[in-house]
Structure formats: C-alpha cells, structure tokens
Homo-oligomer: A and B are copies of this chain.
Amino acid sequence: MFVLVNLKAYPCDPVAVAEAAASVDSGPAEVAIAPQAAHLSAVADTGVQTWAQHVSPVEHGSHTGSTLAEAAADAGATGTLLNHSENRLKFADIDGSLAAADRVDFGTCVCANNPDQIRAAAALGPDAVAVEPPELIGTGTPVSKADPDIVRDAVEAAESVDPSVDVYCGAGISTGEDVVAARELGADGVLLASGVAKADDPAAALQDLVAPL
C-alpha cells in the first residue's frame, strides 16, 4: 500500500514531517512525502521517499518558472503527482509531463475526478491514477465511507483500460481504518494531506495510518 503525504503549501515544517515519516515502521506500506519544489532536497536528505507535487511538460531549455523533471530528480525526488485538483493541467500537458517524468524514471500518479477521467488518465500510461471526488476533498469524510462505489468504479475503470495502472484513493483519508477500507475496495494506495501535515505529532499520525495494514 502506497501512502503519499502531500504537503501542498501548508505552513508545516516539511523536514519534521519527513523525519517523522522516515522514523515510522511502515510495515508493508510505502510512505512518501510530496513537499514544495523548493523543499525537495531538504526532504529527500532525510532519507524518506520524496515526490514532487508537479513537473512541467518541458525538456531542458528556455522555460523560466517551470518545474523541470531533471531538477526535481537532482533534488532527490523519485516520483510526481500530476493534475491534482488544485493544479489542473491541460490534457496535452499531462501527456507531456508524463514524458518528462519518464525521462528521469519517476513514479507518476495522475489525479482525476470520475470514472471517465480515470479511464482517460489511465490511457496516458501513468504508473497510477488517483480518484479524488472534489466534493470530499478536505472534508475528513473518506471516499470509502461516503460512497464506496467511487473507489470500486475507479478501480474497474482503470482496469478496463490498463490493468497495470495502480489506483490511489485521494480524498478524506485520515485514519488507518480508512486506509484499510480503501485497500479492501481495491485501491493500491492513498493520498493524504492535512491529516499528517497538520498533525501535532506527524509520526504518531502516520503510525496510526499504517498500523492496521
């Protein structure tokens, strides 16, 4: 089970969260932290698996203000989110960003809202797709409880296009029980954010999340 903690632009200490993640006995789970690009190297230096929140659909060249995949890789990242609901990309740019991520062997997860989008995202060949129903983001209600069919439908949608594409569950996950429920519905991972990033004790929060696995 892949557990990705997205630090967004939260006012947290990214190194403290990363050290917490590095210290947790994650058992069969694999924990990664996705900080701001400017924090990638500090997070990666803790030894935790580090993801970018985004990479740009560009190659080396005149692209001021882009997030070059090679720069993220230099800083220690090994994967990237793409098309997060807070960072919607153009269709052709998802394709381009996946190509950029492939150049540096990044793991990739493309976010989507509904089964049609999941199928479309899976067709672009990422390692994983994440289903994040917009109405649940930030609510604390896990998608597995709000409507388990959302996860089941996402798993089925991805499977119908490419069975090798993993499915992550991306909204409202905050407890170990939620993670187990997501797994039982067929998810291969979860996306988390404030539940860990804003926790008083991120290590305890993460330990609780992975303990039941």
Docked CA distance A64–B81 (Å):
9
Q: Do residues B91 and A65 form an inter-chain contact, with CB atoms below 8 A? A: no
Nearest neighbor of A73 in chain B, beta-carbon distance: B38
Q: Do residues A61 and B9 form an inter-chain contact, with CB atoms below 8 A? A: yes
For A86, give its contact among B53, B65, B77, B138 (CB under 8 Å): B65
Q: How many A residues touch B, CB cutoff 8 Å?
A: 65
Q: Which residues of A contact B (CB under 8 A)?
A: 6, 8-11, 34-42, 52-54, 56, 58-68, 70-72, 74-75, 77, 81, 83-95, 112-114, 116-117, 119-125, 137-138, 161, 193
Interface centre among A37, A67, A77, A125 (most CB of B within 10 A): A37
Interface centre among A38, A41, A62 (most CB of B within 10 A): A38
Interface centre among A86, A87, A89, A114 (most CB of B within 10 A): A86
If A53-B65, A61-B10 touch, whether A120 touches B138 (CB-CB below 8 Å) is no
For A9, give its contact among B36, B37, B63, B85 (CB under 8 Å): B63
For A61, give its contact among B6, B8, B59, B66 (CB under 8 Å): B8
Q: Do residues A92 and B88 form an inter-chain contact, with CB atoms below 8 A? A: yes
> A37 contacts which chain B residues (CB < 8 A)?
36-38, 67, 71
If A75-B38, A120-B121, A124-B116 touch, whether A64 touches B88 (CB-CB below 8 Å) is no
Q: Do residues B38 and A66 form an inter-chain contact, with CB atoms below 8 A? A: no
CB distance from A14 to the nearest CB of B (A): 8
For A63, give its contact among B40, B86, B92, B137 (CB under 8 Å): B86
> A11 contacts which chain B residues (CB < 8 A)?
60, 70
Docked CA distance A74–B66 (Å):
19
CB distance from A110 to the nearest CB of B (A): 8
